[in-house]
Structure 1
Amino acid sequence: MAVAITRSTEDDGKTSETPGLGSAGIAGLEGAGTARLGMQDHRAVLSVSPQKWLTEGDPVTLICEVNGSSTGWTFSWFTGTADYRDFFQLLSDSSRGAGGKYTVSSAELNHTGVYVCRAEKGKPASKTGYSNIQQLWITGVSPPVSLIISPSRTQHFTSVSLSLSCEDQSNSDGWTVRRYTDIGRLEDCSSFLRGSQTGSTCTIRSTSTSDTGVYWCQSESGENYHPVNITVHSGVILESPVHPVTEGDHLTLRCLYKYTTVSNLSADFYKDGSLIQNQTTEMIIPTVSKSHEGFYYCKHPDRGESPKSWISVRERLKPKVTIKPDHHVFRGETVTLRCDIYDGGVTSWRYNWYKDGSTSVFSERQEHTFSSVTESDAGKYSCYGTETEGSRSSHLSDEVTLTVSVPRADLSVSPQKWLTEGDPVTLICEVNGSSTGWTFSWFTETFSSESRNDYELLSDSSRGAGGKYTVSSADLNHTGVYVCRAERDKTAVYTTYSNTQPLWVTGVSPPVSLIISPSRTQHFTSVSLSLSCEDQSNSDGWTVRRYTDSGWLEDCSSFLRGSQTGSTCTIRSTVPSDTGVYWCQSESGENYHPVNITVHSGVILESPVHPVTEGDHLTLRCLYKYTTVSNLSADFYKDGSLIQNQTTEMIIPTVSKSHEGFYYCKHPDRGASPKSWISVRGSHSDSQISVLHILSSALAACPYLIVTVVLIYKCCRMRGKTPE
């Protein structure tokens, strides 16, 4: 929606188009407009906070008020468009300017432009005239296009030729030079007096003071970039840079006069109204700092003084270091360090890389790549840039830390490693605390006479994707020792094998039982221990295996002081290192009936090898090898709590599920026994009820089965007697 702003002439009732929106023009427009509406006392006034010259990313707010207030009014917001007349385009997001404030939290380069506002209230709506004009000029560190001015300065003489070109990195056409003059006119180059545009270059053939204003580049899609304030003057001018000066740069200012044989005048130089250097042909600041920012002008005793020019000082550029693929990588991966210096005014940089604060340069490329990173490459990296064809330089970048570690696989079990047949269980493999970006393999540890670290890949290893290998219903033959290993996707980076995790699966009626003699789970040192695998047919072919607390996986024949005869394993003289989980393995590799056995040199607890059934009688005793009595008078504990004290045995006449837990005993002089887990399973009566239920169901169905069979038989006989 484009709106033409018009002036009403009250003398003859005619309407004419406003030729321009200078301060006088807009005031007249507002007065006439409000007179027609009968709202002479209501005037929209637009202001800008904090300022109209901004750097990309700065916040800015346009504030519209009617008679000093915004209460009760609804506001509309417009930008100016190029034409000989003054047209305004309603902003597409005008509605966000509610309450009289249109706020831009982070100014972009294309916010450059001229703005007005308007207010209305009531039903039917009564409207104010358009407000005064406010401009926003946004400069950027690296705009996509630069406005190149020739001669390269912001102040120019009258009656000379001036060239303004919009140049982007590809030097493509499609850019238009626009300006907003001091007399309030918004124009394209083709509308300038004595102006013409060829491609993206605008030429003013003979400048005049009316050419003073802000010039910028506009793209074909309407985006505005790189505003520059240009002054045309008939007397003395100041030669100052078009672009902001960078901290550390060299700055030279000169005072010029068109009608003189010398290139520059000997004059006084002022900053912010204060004399800083007098009677010199040029003022030199060898190293610019932020304190040098301000308004400068020069003054000749006879020729007069120049207009003022604002010299902006921007901070020296600071490079940014990035690390790909990540700041934390694993040994063997490819890592790339990159140094970026964002500045549109410099086409080429020379880079210096430093590590851990050293002054030695280890690379001069923008990107430095480690093809196979090692722990020695870890450290803090920074970079620094100098202009290849110039004197500009950057700050040293902030340090960025590269961490290199050995990929370590860690295996855990959820919910627990001791299971009952049918329970679900999950093995969880993580690499340094994460499973992202890795492919996992799953193994069981196998026995070898040459090495204890032989691993066999699980046939269904592929189902362990995402770092989790899940068994929904554990079988007895899932008993074993597991490890995992991970490989980094799209790289040749492998972890070592993880820690081991055992799974122990017990069943109600396993096909084989591990018979231990003496029949208990805790045993003294230096005694003989017998372990036999017995199935229903008492056949041979079973091997006793164990996994000790020190992580050894062994067959009985490899035990220290161990030997196997048939399916019986004998340890001639026990030691504490015999502590571990023991089970039976068939010739085909199936594992059954794991039992946790503890060998201890002091007090031990006599407790049953197999789970206790609900309703059974349970007796626990505290034993000591070096005593004449068979058992000690001791205190008994369950899950850390004292449950019976100073008794030779603890008796539970009728076991229930609540009795399941960790038990141990403690003698005041001999010390405490290790802990033993006592498991409680469902009662026999439950099994009997189950069997009786099956039998009764089968018997109930029998009469129906018999009747059905008889009917089928008779039917077949009758069909056989039917004549053809």
Structure 2
Amino acid sequence: MFMIQAAAQIPPGAPSITGPQVIIQGDQVTLTCTVNGGSPSPTVKWLRDDKVVDDSSTTSGTTVVNTYSFTASNDEHLEVFECQSENGVLQNPLSRTKFVEVYRPPTTPVLVGPGEAQPGTLTTWTCTSRGGYPLQTMAMRIGNSVFSNELTTNSVLVNESYTVTGTLSWAPTTANNGQTLFCDVYHPETLGQNNPQTVSKILTVRSPLAVNAPRTLYEPTTGQTITLTCQVTSGTATSIMWYKDNQLLNLAANSRLSGASPGAPSMTISNVQTSDTGNYICSATDGSATRNTSTITVSPRATPTQPTLVGPTSMTAGSTGTWTCTSIGGFPLQTMSMRINNVVVNSNELSINSQYNSNLRTYTVVGTLNKALNMGHNGQTLFCDVTHPETLQSPQTVSLPLTVRSPLAVTAPTTFYNPEEEEDVTLNCIVTTGTATGINWYKNNNRITVGANQRFSGGLPNSPSLTMTDVEIADGGNYICEATDGSATVRTNSIFVSVRERPWLEYDIITYVLDGYNKLVRPRDPVVNVTHSLIPREIFEFDGGKKFVLQAMQCMSWNDPRLTWPKGQPRISLPSSVIWLPDVVLFGQKYVPDFEAKVIVTKDGTVVYCPQGPITATNCEEKSGEVYECDFRFLSWSYDKVMLDKHFPGLISDPSIDMSIYLEHDHYEIVSRCAVRREMTYPCRDGTYPELKYTFVLRRRRSFCRNLNQSPTCV
């Protein structure tokens, strides 16, 4: 027989929970769950929202304890915490719950509303307290006097906290000026029983501001001093400002303006000017309110400046003159009249115009008199009178003396002059009436400045005629004599001058071209171009050997711009010794003509020089059978190519020798000839020298001769 002993199973006891009754946001909270008994030993755990948050526990004998700690926040507010115990004996675990409320202090309240108020005026202030739980309470007071009927409060639960709004509607009195308005918020659960949150605002209660302008129109005279009166009739102004035409005045920037302080709000304008015209406003402020006076109009009366009178003081009888009188700077409008001595001028002759200057705020009056004077006005005075009764006791007057003369007239007794060149002529001009103060002469409508031309004289008031000496062709034209007496200007009829050309004789031409001529100077820079040709006349001598003498003419031509003249015959003849000649000589020989050859000069400066005489060649060379070749070489010894260049006449590429005047020799005949230009250099001189070489081939006359086709060596 066996014995089996079974252990007894006992359910645990019901859980008990301990923890704080009041929980304030931010507190460290500990909840303790205790279970006694039970076999086997039970488990104890904490749940929140059916979720296990802590399953740790400690066992001491038959007692099991689970302690759960957390920091109180909005997340735990109004949450239910459950403690469960079980050991498998019972079908369902045993449980106990703890409802948690987290108390929160409200934020510092906010008090809004005016800091200044007018006495007896209903004014509203609002105090707001947010974020309290449970509900906070609110009170408002002035000093220690708590408001009751004047304060309404309203609370609303937002996001599990309360917002309380207190609205105070109250009409303060001047006795409340300087007192403090308080808003107190009570929350004993978090702040303590007698420890409210408090905010405050100091109150300023003043009488309403008012200003007045007892006078709204000022009409001073410029230069005076006026004070625009401004009065603060109620309240206390902290600042005074003045406006002109809606623009703020800067009194510190204008030395003529003063005043405008809270203690003396009126503004003084010294030395009043027309620019001070306008509409003014006095504006006062007490820091919260601004008050303006009605518009104050300033309309200065300005004395016009002394008028000016301009116009002619000397006139010709019967002519119409224009005089202008100008008065500037008057306000209100000044009046004007004009008179000669004591006779007021006809209104049809005087026009008066006025114009208002909006910038200067004054009037300008201009009177224009157009009147024809007669001899009866001579010596009288023209007056301009300006009247301005607002500022002047008597008229302003300016005057001009009048001189009236007989009308001016001039005539030209002769209207056609036909002098010859280099003669003197006087164009007559006579002042027949009146007195000329100035004489002017015109040629072809262009004024003549007599003093600027030494050949012209006259043209003066006491000698109006114009004298011209050494008349030139260019002096021909239409002339007019003009006279003026300061107010009138008259002219003669047109005076026509036709200058006859004086013929130039040969004497005139030669005198003209040689006046100041320097024959040592080349006629042109940098180079003088000379053409040269040799014209044989006859064989003067030939000995059948080296020496060959030819009677010939040299013709040279160049241009000398100094030897030109404007008119007269087309050419002249001059001795060659009086002008510059090119030093073209025969190489190896001295050429001496039998007389001084003249040069032919044409009007454009072309010079032709053709000296004639015997020229000798000493270098003849016998070619064959009494056939001889002789050459003549011409060149300049003092001028190289850059100063004097030599060419054959014309532009032909193969120049020839002119044989048109050649006379045949009894014993020798010229069977061939040629001319060649070469440029040579010489050891004794620098530069390149053009050389013209003329070559002749001669033979003795006979019935038969060898090598009849022999030609000279032209290289």
TM class by shorter chain equals under 0.3
Find the structure with the greater CA-based Rg: 2
Identify the structure with the greater strand proportion.
Answer: 2
Relative to the length of structure 2, the TM-score reads 0.24
